[in-house]
């Protein structure tokens, strides 16, 4: 009897493990939206002139609760007054939120509200840092603006804060601000546990059109400019998509994934639609913002899937709450196999003509923005799809026969058949498609079996290396597949963890492009001891301290 094996999963986000693919279409799939807002300004202390800003949501494994930090902005007259407050909420199910009375920030003569910080200009980036001591468990990068800064015409510097509980924040005066003049708006922060390094993604200044740049730090105080990492407008994009407003990255299996905010604007203007749209102009995507997929294997080099439509969360139908603009929150959460994507929706498009057209309604209504939730089922990010015409996929050679083969697929109304072959295309006896019991259901962990009742691992004696798998699809979607190997004592898992670290040294080191024989950077080395007393050269003096 075979024990549960060590899993090795393969996603279809890129072609790293694909040798051949015929009659299959790669598709970026859309998340499933929760039907109602999960956060809105409906507390007694919320005013009609308030509007909901961006959100950060984390899931606390120890406490078993969701924690949300969200900004509340105040509008007065015809302009933003430069001030937002940071509010705090908790939830046991991620949908219904409690807003505890914090008694920390006075608003309109009362502290009976859930505000924890009084002056935050933009929604801060908050992470739960596993690498630091409990007193600095939570980390925050935040911005502060003012009328003077707006008048002077410069961008808000970025600052650092830390907290033990996510509520009471220390703002170290001896280091702030930690970044000056690098961001015009919107930033996200993650901790790369492989490098033990913090990565900040933001929009570079100057930046027109908008794109994504990366800054790295080991201490959140000293930062390295790592350049632009994602620029809009490729052969798959329509001409009006060349601005990336923001990205929310997170770890997923072997990848870094990101919810990327794509801004649709005029293809002949870089002024972000500051003109008035003609009344007879067709109602296209112009001015809308949606959420698309981006990915990276190292956190530095970012790509988008090579398909025409990369949308994960689209704008909703006309008249819906999210019909005009959607913006991802920080830190999408991977929980129980699904990814929880919180996002902000606004009732106006991201263009001045639409903002001003709806201004009278917006400035007197807290119902202009909402916190929403969408979920992506396990591994559903990208699939290989087949219609009525059969297609097939061949993966690159593995090290040997797998213990078991599982697929995450939707084959309702269709089928998926699998066979094991050698690098020369020879079908392994008993493991061809004729012997395969077809997969005909929808599920995340469907085991592939063959009629003979044998186990692929039984081939290990005769086929130790170079085993490939061929998947035949018809009217089916294949999201991922998983190979397992026997690992009764956990040694294989340990070996693979160590092998992963070895790969990080070779491919993710900050000095990967230097050889070990190059001189070290920084201060010059010590020149060695001077001449001993009595051995100095003529005219040379040795100091005796």
121/190 Cα distance (integer angstroms): 20
Asked whether the predicted pLDDT for residue 523 surpasses 90, the reply is: no
Answer yes or no: do 44 and 172 share one domain: yes
Domain of residue 190: give its range. Answer: 32-272+283-378
Answer yes or no: do 247 and 320 share one domain: yes
10/336 Cα distance (integer angstroms): 19
pLDDT band at 354 (very low <50, low <70, confident <90, very high): confident
354/284 Cα distance (integer angstroms): 13
With beta carbons less than 8 A apart as the criterion, state whether 142 and 127 touch: no
13/379 Cα distance (integer angstroms): 10
Q: Give the whole-number percent of the chain exceeding pLDDT 70.
A: 86
Phi, psi (degrees; rounded to nearest 5) at 413: 80, 5
Mean pLDDT on 353-363: 70
pLDDT band at 365 (very low <50, low <70, confident <90, very high): low
Q: Does the residue 500 lie in any domain?
A: no
pLDDT at 510: 58
pLDDT band at 2 (very low <50, low <70, confident <90, very high): very low
pLDDT at 3: 45
Q: Is the dihedral angle over the CA atoms 322, 324, 330, 334 positive or is it negative?
A: positive
Q: Does the residue 496 lie in any domain?
A: no
Asked whether the predicted pLDDT for residue 122 surpasses 80, the reply is: no
Answer yes or no: do 315 and 455 share one domain: no
pLDDT band at 81 (very low <50, low <70, confident <90, very high): very low
pLDDT at 138: 97
Asked whether the predicted pLDDT for residue 212 surpasses 50, the reply is: yes
Asked whether the predicted pLDDT for residue 157 surpasses 80, the reply is: yes
With beta carbons less than 8 A apart as the criterion, state whether 167 and 88 touch: yes
Using DSSP's 3-state secondary structure scheme, residue 361 falls into helix
Answer yes or no: do 138 and 247 share one domain: yes
pLDDT at 507: 54
Mean pLDDT on 382-389: 98
Using CB atoms within 10 Å of the CB of residue 453, give its burial: 0 to 12 exposed, 13 to 18 middle, 19+ buried: exposed
308/235 Cα distance (integer angstroms): 8
With beta carbons less than 8 A apart as the criterion, state whether 226 and 216 touch: yes
Asked whether the predicted pLDDT for residue 490 surpasses 70, the reply is: yes
Q: What is the mean pLDDT of the chain?
A: 86
Asked whether the predicted pLDDT for residue 524 surpasses 80, the reply is: no
**316: CATH:** 2.115.10.20
Q: Which of 126-130, 141-145, 353-357, 396-400 has the lowest mean pLDDT?
A: 353-357
Helix (H) / strand (E) element for 352: namely helix 352-357
Answer yes or no: do 362 and 413 share one domain: no
The per-residue pLDDT for range 27-47, each reduced to its tens digit, is: 999 999 999 999 999 999 998
Asked whether the predicted pLDDT for residue 543 surpasses 80, the reply is: no
pLDDT at 281: 67
- Between 463 and 220, whose confidence is greater? 220
Q: CA-CA distances (angstroms) from residue 544 to 386, 526, 537, 541?
A: 84, 19, 16, 9
Answer yes or no: do 58 and 114 share one domain: yes
pLDDT at 76: 52
The per-residue pLDDT for range 233-259, each reduced to its tens digit, is: 889 998 888 889 899 999 999 999 999
pLDDT at 58: 97
Q: Does the residue 49 lie in any domain?
A: yes
Which residue, 378, 396, 426, sits at the end of a domain?
A: 378
Q: Does the residue 541 lie in any domain?
A: no
The per-residue pLDDT for range 390-440, each reduced to its tens digit, is: 999 999 987 788 889 999 999 999 999 999 999 888 999 999 999 999 999
pLDDT at 241: 86
- Between 291 and 459, whose confidence is greater? 291
Mean pLDDT on 349-355: 77
Q: Does the residue 401 lie in any domain?
A: yes
Q: What angle do CA 308, 313, 316 make, to 5 degrees?
A: 105
Q: Give the whole-number percent of the chain exceeding pLDDT 90.
A: 57
With beta carbons less than 8 A apart as the criterion, state whether 239 and 267 touch: yes
Q: Does the residue 515 lie in any domain?
A: no
Q: Is the dihedral angle over the CA atoms 200, 154, 259, 13 positive or is it negative?
A: negative
Total structural domains within the chain: 2
Answer yes or no: do 296 and 445 share one domain: no
pLDDT at 1: 36
With beta carbons less than 8 A apart as the criterion, state whether 290 and 245 touch: no
Q: Which of 25-39, 139-153, 357-371, 377-391 has the lowest mean pLDDT?
A: 357-371
CB atoms within 10 A of CB 115: 20
pLDDT at 541: 39
Asked whether the predicted pLDDT for residue 315 surpasses 60, the reply is: yes
pLDDT at 505: 63
pLDDT band at 156 (very low <50, low <70, confident <90, very high): confident
Answer yes or no: do 416 and 358 share one domain: no
Q: Does the residue 492 lie in any domain?
A: no
pLDDT band at 447 (very low <50, low <70, confident <90, very high): very high
CB atoms within 10 A of CB 173: 6
Answer yes or no: do 60 and 154 share one domain: yes
Answer yes or no: do 268 and 349 share one domain: yes
Asked whether the predicted pLDDT for residue 534 surpasses 70, the reply is: no
**472: CATH:** 2.60.120
Q: Does the residue 431 lie in any domain?
A: yes
Tokens of 530: 């001077």
Nearest residue to 45 via CA among 101, 86, 84, 91: 101
What DSSP line would sit under 501-545, residue for residue?
Answer: HHHHHHHT-TTTTS-TTSPPSSSPPP----PPTT-PPTT------
Q: For residue 242, is the peptide bond before it cis, meaning its omega torsion is within 30 degrees of 0? A: no
Answer yes or no: do 212 and 144 share one domain: yes
- Between 448 and 74, whose confidence is greater? 448
DSSP state letter for 480: E
Q: CA-CA distances (angstroms) from residue 18 to 139, 450, 471?
A: 39, 23, 11
Tokens of 477: 């979607």
213/225 Cα distance (integer angstroms): 8
pLDDT band at 515 (very low <50, low <70, confident <90, very high): low
Answer yes or no: do 244 and 186 share one domain: yes
Mean pLDDT on 205-218: 87
Which residue, 486, 513, 531, sits at the end of a domain?
A: 486
């Amino acid at each position: 009897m075979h024990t549960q094996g060590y899993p090795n999963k393969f996603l279809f986000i890129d072609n790293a493990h694909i040798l051949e693919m015929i009659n299959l279409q790669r598709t970026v799939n859309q998340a499933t939206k929760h039907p109602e807002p999960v956060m809105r300004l409906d507390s007694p202390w919320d005013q009609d002139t308030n509007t909901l800003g961006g959100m950060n949501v984390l899931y606390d494994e120890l406490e078993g609760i969701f924690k949300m930090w969200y900004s509340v902005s105040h509008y007065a007259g015809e302009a933003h007054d430069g001030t937002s407050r940071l509010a705090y909420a908790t939830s046991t199910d991620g949908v219904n939120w409690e807003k505890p009375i914090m008694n920390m920030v006075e608003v309109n003569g009362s502290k009976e509200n859930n505000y924890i910080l009084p002056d935050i200009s933009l929604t801060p980036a908050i992470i739960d840092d596993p690498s630091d001591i409990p007193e600095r468990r939570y980390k925050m990068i935040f911005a502060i603006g003012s009328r003077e800064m707006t008048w002077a015409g410069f961008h808000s510097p970025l600052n650092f804060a830390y907290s033990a509980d996510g509520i009471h924040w220390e703002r170290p005066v001896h280091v702030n601000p930690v970044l000056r003049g690098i961001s015009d708006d919107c930033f996200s922060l993650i901790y790369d546990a492989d490098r033990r390094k913090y990565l900040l993604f933001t929009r570079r200044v100057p930046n027109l059109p908008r794109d994504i740049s990366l800054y790295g730090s080991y201490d959140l105080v000293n930062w390295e400019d790592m350049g632009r990492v994602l620029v809009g407008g490729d052969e798959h994009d329509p001409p009006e998509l060349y601005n990336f407003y923001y990205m929310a990255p997170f770890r997923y299996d072997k990848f870094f994934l990101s919810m990327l905010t794509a801004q649709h604007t005029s293809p002949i203007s870089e002024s972000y639609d500051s003109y008035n749209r003609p009344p007879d102009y067709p109602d296209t995507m112009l001015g809308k913002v949606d959420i698309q997929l981006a990915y990276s294997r190292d956190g530095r080099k970012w790509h988008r899937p090579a398909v025409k439509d990369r949308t994960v969360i689209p704008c909703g139908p006309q008249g819906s709450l999210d019909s005009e603009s959607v913006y991802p929150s920080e830190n999408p959460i991977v929980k129980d196999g699904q990814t929880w994507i919180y996002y902000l929706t606004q009732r106006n498009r991201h263009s001045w003509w639409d903002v001003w057209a709806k201004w009278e309604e917006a400035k007197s209504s807290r119902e202009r923005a909402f916190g929403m939730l969408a979920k992506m089922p396990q591994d559903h990010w990208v699939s290989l799809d087949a219609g009525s015409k059969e297609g097939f996929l061949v993966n690159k050679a593995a090290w040997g026969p797998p213990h078991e083969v599982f697929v995450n697929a939707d084959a309702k109304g269709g089928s998926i058949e699998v066979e094991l072959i050698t690098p020369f295309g020879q079908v392994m006896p008993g493991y061809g498609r004729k012997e395969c019991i077809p997969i005909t259901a929808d599920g995340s962990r469907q085991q592939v079996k063959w009629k003979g009742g044998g186990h692929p691992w039984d081939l290990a004696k005769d086929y130790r290396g170079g085993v490939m798998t061929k998947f035949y699809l018809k009217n089916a979607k294949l999201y991922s597949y998983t190979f397992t190997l026997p690992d009764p004592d956990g040694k294989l898992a340990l070996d693979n963890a160590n092998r992963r670290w070895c790969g990080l040294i070779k491919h993710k080191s900050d000095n990967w492009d230097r050889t070990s024989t190059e001189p070290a950077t920084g201060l010059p080395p010590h020149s060695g001891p001077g001449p001993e007393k009595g051995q100095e050269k003529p005219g040379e003096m040795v100091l005796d301290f």
